[in-house]
Amino acid sequence: MNLSAPFLCEFFKEPMMKAFPYIDILFSNETEAAKFSEVQNFGLTDIKEIALKTAALPKKNSKRAAPLSSPRAQTILSWPRVNGKVREFPVTRLAEEKLIDTNGAGDAFVGGFLAQLVQGQDVAECIKCGIWAATEIIQRPGCSFPPDLHYKD
């Protein structure tokens, strides 16, 4: 699931929380995570603490990941299979002139992550591909890839 937008955490709190025990992977950016923390009364503002608290919410099975992406910061991952600790992955830093349009960056991150997950890649490779996809998207107007671009070229 993707928190998608801060207002969804607020206006759809009840249905979101009914779905929460069934969510295996939750995607959000820092703004969405902060709003989720506020709405859930976590009393937390540190993104790492929010990731850990979110990943520890009641679950129907024992696995939940909470990748939190931010195009200008680190990608943070809280995954119970890494002993309930936060792992950080560096994002690709672009020169300001290469930053064209950030629309779709989060969706590109999710797409890259899931593309590797369904191929059985480990979480580090999933994150790496998510970062790659988001980095490519923000260098072009609109949400598009150049036709000849492939991951791991």
Residues carrying an active site annotation: 107
CB 97 within 8 A of CB 76: no
Q: Which of 77, 86, 84 is nearest to 128 (CA)?
A: 77
Per the DSSP assignment, residues forming a β-bridge with 50 are: none
CB 138 within 8 A of CB 102: yes
Q: How do strand 74-78 and strand 86-90 relate by DSSP bridges?
A: antiparallel
Give the contacts of 13 (CB within 8 A, at least 6 positions apart): 39, 40
